Amino acid sequence: MDGPLVEVRGLTKEYRRGDEVVPVLAGLDLSIARGDYVALMGPSGSGKSTLLNLLGGLDQPTAGEIRIDGVSIGELGSNELAAWRARSVGFIFQMYNLLPVLTAEQNVELPLLLTSLSKPERLARARAALALVGLSDRARHRPRELSGGQEQRVGIARAIVTDPLLLLCDEPTGDLDRKAGDAVLDLFDALNREAGKTIVMVTHDPRAAARARRILHLEKGVLAREEG
């Protein structure tokens, strides 16, 4: 399909705190091309994580429209939205959010349980994803037996195992030391440049943001400026 992968028009998000209305996003417009790599930066409370959650269909906007690959996700019911997430989005979290009782391989296999793939097919894909992030030898390890950097790489493998359209990353290096953070960013570079994955990454770290093709600065719920 031609045209941008992500189109956001007039996106508004407000939270209610008692009688008080707290605006987070104020009529934001945004377009992200296929294969783009976008860093979202801004001070705390600027709305970058909220934007990421809305792009991933984890939250509902107060007003405005989000179209991803031509699908207006605000029009999907909760079950359709869950199925859309499973097909179209890979999430990478700051705290990795791996399930502690599962091995690395089982964590990566998890999104594939929502597909019609057979068990051998699921395992083959999970192993391929783990190989891509360089963790084939840690497949049987549980999260507590891995370092933070390794956990995040398992998280990345889980995010890419379904071959989603869009990777949404919330402070992916925020809990890692510099070396582990660089390894994760190298992976994103490879996924973007070699696999053509579209990546949207929220970060406070200018070094991480510098790896992106575009850097969008949010302030008070609107796009303040763009670099790149």
Partner 1 sequence: MARGQMLAITWMNLQSLPARWGAALVAVVGIGGVVMVLTATLAMAQGFKAALDFAGAEDVAVVVRGGSSGELSSNLLGPEATVVADAPGILHDGAGPIASPELYVLVDLPMRVSGTAANVPFRGVGARGFAVRDHFRILAGRLFTPGLYELVIGRGALGQFRGLKLGGVVRFGNQNWRIVGVFEDGGSVTESELWSDLHVLQSTYRRGNSVQSVRVRLASPAAVAQVAAALKADARVNVSVASERAFYAEQSKALVAIVTILGTTISIMMGIGAIFGALNTMYSAVAARTREIATLRAVGFGAAPVVASVLVEAVLLGLAGGLLGGLAAFVAFDGIAASTLNFQTFSQLTFAFMVTPRVFVTGVCYAVLLGLLGGLLPGIQAARLPITAGLRST
Amino acid at residue number 189: D
Q: Which one of the spans 28-36, 63-71, 110-118, 190-198 is the region binding partner 1 (CB under 8 A)?
A: 110-118
Contact between residue 134 and residue 153 where contact means Cβ atoms under 8 Å apart:
yes
Q: How many residues line the site for partner 1 (CB under 8 A)? A: 25
Instruction: Specify the residue for token string 């407000």.
Output: 14
* Among 92, 40, 30, 41, residue whose Cα is nearest residue 67: 30
Tokens found for residue 27: 């009529």
Q: Which of 10, 22, 31, 59 binds partner 1 (CB under 8 A)?
A: 59
- Residue 158 binds partner 1 (CB under 8 A): yes
Nearer to partner 1, 9 or 87 (CB): 87
E strands, 18-159, in order? 20-32, 37-41, 63-68, 71-72, 89-92
- Residue 78 binds partner 1 (CB under 8 A): yes
Q: Which of 53, 150, 198, 203 binds partner 1 (CB under 8 A)?
A: 53
- Residue 46 binds partner 1 (CB under 8 A): no
Amino acid at residue number 183: A
Taking CA atoms, 98 is separated from 78, 101, 144, 188, in Å, by: 23, 9, 10, 19
- Residue 71 binds partner 1 (CB under 8 A): no
Nearer to partner 1, 164 or 181 (CB): 164
Interface residues toward partner 1, by CB under 8 A: 53, 56, 58-59, 78-79, 82-83, 85-87, 91, 93, 95, 97, 99-102, 110-111, 113-114, 116, 158
